[in-house]
Structure 1
Amino acid sequence: MNKAEQSVLKVAHLGIAFGGLKAVNDFNIEIGKSELYGLIGPNGAGKTTVFNLLTGVYEPTEGAIFLNGEKMNGKKTHQMVQAGIARTFQNIRLFKKMTALENVKVAMNMSMKYSLGSAIFRLPSYWKEESEVNIKAKELLEVVNLGDKADFIAENLPYGQQRRLEIARALATGMKLLLLDEPAAGMNPTETAELLDIINVIRTKFNISVLLIEHDMSLVMKICEKIQVIDYGVTIAFGTPAEIANNPKVIEAYLGKEDE
């Protein structure tokens, strides 16, 4: 298989244990280029633990993670970002006192090429790159419908807009795989509908793959091409939205076993 044919993300037999308790066990997933994939399960199923493994927050005790064919095991979080994995969080983690534009520009820091001397003495190379970064950051804010909020302080934005700003900041890393951890949490129906449109736009515009954790099942069923369900750290189902919606194991995991 050549590089172009490889999956963007391939995870084989991934697992992690905390004090003898297996939080994730024998987890396997494969996501193709530009694919939108859902990871769902009841509270405490291990979904965020999977995200923490994929982003270097935790190191797996077993199994392997491959991004575009390159093994990621042992890499730190910043190395995962450099390799092409970016994420948002359940709890918003913005630089609250910075503007929306500054939040996006921070994520471009690793790609900046001007020298320390150029920055100190404000040489032409510094101003040229700063101008390019400003333009790119503003374009990303437009993508998430925040083009008119560039100069707003992040903490003063409404909740739904802060969620979208997190996505813009993740996009600014130039990732190949975007992990969205409950992006619709706390949103009203109008904000959720806008979010759905934005996710579809960025997947198409940037040709990236998306792995989504979400409790809003209507959003998951509308947007995801494939869905994987885990419970107690173990995969219990995989398939299309229609297959998952009618799977007895999934229904039991969410609603409990029906009394006979």
Structure 2
Amino acid sequence: MAGMEQYPVLRAKNLGIQFGGLKAVDNFNLEIGESELVGLIGPNGAGKTTVFNLLTGVYKPTEGSFYLNGQRMNGRRTHQIVEAGIARTFQNIRLFKKMTVIDNVKAAMNRELMYQLPQAILRTPSYWREEARITERARELLRIVHLEGKEEYEADNLPYGEQRRLEIARALATDMKLLLLDEPAAGMNPTETEELLDIIHFIRNRFKISVLLIEHDMSLVMRICGRIQVLDFGTTIASGTPEEIANHPKVIEAYLGRDEDDGGEGQEHGRDGNQEYREVGKDA
């Protein structure tokens, strides 16, 4: 409608949190538009997962605010933020491991069920119609992440890479507007990583969702993200295209460290091994 203000899907404004005397995240600002895929990177301990915890209500910000499509999210509980449209995956997979694959996906659809408890107890026709509807939708999501045919497996029996994809299907089942992916390629082999990359592209384009990605596989980040923001010790040190980030001196210093006797050239004195950063320039 003409004249209506257009909001970014996510807007974080001066967002921060302090634990005692330590500022884990300070003055974090980020805007993500519709269908945009943004990477959030930085050395270990930079504050990336803390940002995700702020955006999902696990932590309450001690300063600043964040908005989803113009609606302020501060103070909302995690389930309320999920209902508003923010979903996430985790570094450590968190599935209902003894439930079936399809039931893991259906569990994320509880809030949209169209029947009441008495109908479920009595197994009325409306109950069965609704069960059929959500079962078919769950099957469709499992097809999208290439898990068709495994609907009745226990989640715990899936290979690691397939468990990662099941987490994504479960997140999709919440009808989110913003998907936060926390190291989705961790532990995957190159073939699984390529398949994951294709799935992320597909769901972004099909569902018009926005994605904020934390990932240590820099070749994946550089290939999939249109824009990258870099954290170090809880503060943003750079933001730009993959090419700009790959050659940014502050980013190189954050990952590779600085030798005070060499005039500031990057050396291998970073905090976390730095092999991941050597991958940055390969595809940039």
> In which range does the TM-score fall when normalised by the shorter chain?
over 0.9
Q: 2:113 matched to which residue of 1?
A: 112
Q: 2:204 matched to which residue of 1?
A: 203
Question: 1:127 & 1:85 partners in 2: Cα distance?
Answer: 29
Q: 2:94 matched to which residue of 1?
A: 93
Q: 1:67 matched to which residue of 2?
A: 68
| Segment of structure 1 superposing worse, 51-60 or 108-117 | 108-117
Residue 164 (structure 1) shift: 0.3
Which letter maps to 1:6?
Answer: Y
Question: 2:10 & 2:187 partners in 1: Cα distance?
Answer: 29
Structure 2, unmatched stretches of 5+, are: 263-284
- What's the secondary structure of 1:149's corresponding residue? coil
- What's the secondary structure of 1:120's corresponding residue? helix
Question: 2:120 & 2:138 partners in 1: Cα distance?
Answer: 19
Q: TM-score, normalised by structure 1?
A: 0.98
- Count of matched residue positions in the alignment of Structure 1 and Structure 2: 259
Structure 1, unmatched stretches of 5+, are: none
- Give CA-to-partner distance per residue, 1:83-103, whole Å, 9 cap, x none: 000000000000000111000
Which letter maps to 2:22?
Answer: L
Question: 1:235 & 1:167 partners in 2: Cα distance?
Answer: 27
Q: 1:164 matched to which residue of 2?
A: 165
Question: 1:95 & 1:254 partners in 2: Cα distance?
Answer: 36
Which letter maps to 1:131?
Answer: A
Q: 1:244 matched to which residue of 2?
A: 245
- Give CA-to-partner distance per residue, 1:1-47, whole Å, 9 cap, x none: 735x2100000000100011100000000000000000000000000
Instruction: Answer with 1 or 2: which has the greater Rg.
Output: 2
Question: 1:97 & 1:43 partners in 2: Cα distance?
Answer: 32
Question: 1:154 & 1:2 partners in 2: Cα distance?
Answer: 44
Q: 1:235 matched to which residue of 2?
A: 236
Question: 2:162 & 2:14 partners in 1: Cα distance?
Answer: 37
Correspondence 1:6-25 to 2 at 5 A: 6-25=7-26
Q: 2:127 matched to which residue of 1?
A: 126
Percent of aligned pairs sharing the same letter:
70
Match for residue 2 of structure 1 among 1, 4, 12: 4
Matched, 1:82 2:83: yes
- What's the secondary structure of 1:44's corresponding residue? coil
Q: 2:180 matched to which residue of 1?
A: 179
- Give CA-to-partner distance per residue, 1:35-92, whole Å, 9 cap, x none: 0000000000000000000000000000011000000000000000000000000000
Question: 1:108 & 1:2 partners in 2: Cα distance?
Answer: 31
Q: 1:32 matched to which residue of 2?
A: 33
Which letter maps to 2:105?
Answer: V
